[in-house]
Amino acid sequence: MTNTKKTSPRRTLAVGAIGNFGEIYDFAVFGFSIPILSVHFFPGSDRTAALLSTFAVYAVAFVARPLGGLMFGYLADRLGRVRVMAMTVWLMALGTAIIGLLPTYATIGIAAPLLLLLCRIAQGLALGGETTGSTSYIVESAPQNRRGYWLGFTLIFSHLPNAVVAGLVIALQLGAGEQAYSDWMWRIPFLLGGVIGLVGFWLRRSIDEPEEYKQARQASKASKTRKNPLMAAIKCGGLRGMLHVFMVQPAFSVGAYLLLGFMYTFLVQVGKLDSTSALVSNAIAVIVLSALLPLGGLLSDRYGRKRVLSVGAVWIALSAYPAMHMAASGTFAGAVSGQILLAIGLGIYGAPSFVAAAEFFPTSFRATGHAISYQTSVAMFGGTCPLIAAYLSQTFDSPLAPAFYVTAIAIICLITTQFVPETRDVNLRTSVANNAAEPSQNLQARQQELPTQRA
């Protein structure tokens, strides 16, 4: 019996998007808490060393992301997107809530940073599976000519938590004072992450698998051609798709994690803004980024992924230096203007890069192929960005040095994007990873995909 409530496109989109909120909220809390965590878990007279140590722990989660992506991506192809999304939201919530309960270095010594490290690994494993599972779920649920817009809409909920966390931190600091927040109230946002995880799990229980996934699974069973997703990803054209992901994803990863994971600390340490002004300015930029993501997806549905990616890459390359220069001015207006300048380029680039990364792979091993390449790319370029930015600033004795890193990555992606296939109208069942498929097979897959496009 069909449950129309579960398969309603509007409900699917809304519940999938809201579920993403809890996952990214947990990651955002850690990013905004780096200055405080460095004091409690890496004490010492050298504040720069403490900050670098905390940024290193921040980056460790991105090392765990490929492993989590591979594990949960494989399960998503074998067991279904929804089951995996329920697993990852639990793991993320648990890792975040435990951080809120951890004793500090002053209480248990070296065990404190080690436990913090383990929690970050759990967060990394969870996010590795979450991004791939939810991306596959949304892309396969969307109408063919709206995939960019649908995914862009859900990406709002993958970035908006950064602004929400900033608002929460400001409210707590104003309500109890910055000293009280630094002493113990910093734990509250982490504990709330556990509560949000429970809500996310409850919401995700009410959604159904995408029709595209169910039909592909039934077709493989009927033809007795179902393969191990990992082996299929390696042998059936998946390696080409993985290379394509590496050719388009880094520009967004580096720019976004500079904005989301590094800029707050940059504004406080270099711009000498008070924490409240830094949080507010960063939140404004994140809201602008979030608002532009659906637009970038919509434009890519109309004009193609590659054209919009090219425009976004040019904007990021040209804006990185003036953005950081304005942010370092020491004024609130400069901080807001600089971050918004960078956020515009990221908003244009983001949705087409995410949707193309999923469209590079056919449905049978989409989650596995996407997980390996996307999570490895983000780990290499996104997770290390705050650490590299801090290192470049110290090495070259210039707070603006990270801007040149962002510019270089954007230029490289602008060039490599010209050599990836256009995926706007690709058939999800076969994708671009199986161009050698017979025309009759492509037509049959296209006909099977049509019912999901009428939604």
Within 364-425, residue ranges assigned H as helices are 366-377, 385-395, 401-417
Does the domain made of 4-453 have the CATH classification 2.60.40.1120? no
For helices 332-359 and 275-303, give the axis angle rounded to 10 degrees: 40
Amino acid, res. 353: S
Structure tokens at 436: 């050698």
pLDDT of the residue at 224: 52
Distance between CA atoms of 184 and 289, rounded to whole angstroms? 31
Whether the CB-CB separation of 384 and 392 falls below 8 Å is answered with: no
Distance of alpha carbon 141 from alpha carbon 135, whole angstroms:
10
Tokens of 99: 């951080």
Where do the structural domains in the chain lie, given as residue ranges?
Answer: 4-453
Helices (H) and strands (E) in the chain, counts: 22, 0
Of 31, 124, 15, 21, the closest CA to residue 71 belongs to 124
Rounded distance, CA 275 to CA 272, Å? 9
pLDDT under 50: residue ranges of the chain = 1-6, 435-455
Handedness of CA 296, 301, 305, 306 (dihedral sign): negative
Q: What tokens appear for 283 in the block?
A: 């939140």
* CA of residue 248 relative to chain centroid, distance: 14
Tokens for 214, please give them. Answer: 């169910």
The predicted structure's pLDDT at residue 426: 92
Q: Which pair of tokens denotes residue 33?
A: 């808490």
Q: What is the pLDDT of residue 62?
A: 72
Q: Taking the mean position of all CA atoms in its chain, how far away is CA 81?
A: 17
Length of the chain counted residue by residue: 455
Helix segments in 304-384, DSSP class H: 305-327, 332-359, 366-377
pLDDT of residue 448: 47
Model pLDDT for residues 129-176, shown as the tens digit of each residue: 888 888 999 999 999 899 999 999 989 888 888 788 888 888 888 888
Taken in order 247, 62, 376, 229, the sign of the CA dihedral is negative
Q: Model confidence over 20-72: pLDDT tens digits?
A: 787 778 777 887 787 788 888 887 656 677 777 777 787 777 778 888 888 99
pLDDT of 455 reads: 39
- Cα 419 from chain centroid? 24
Query: Distance between CA 414 and CA 349 in Å, rounded?
Result: 11
Side chain identity at residue 292, one-letter code: L
Query: What do you get for the CA distance between the two ends of the chain, in Å?
Result: 19
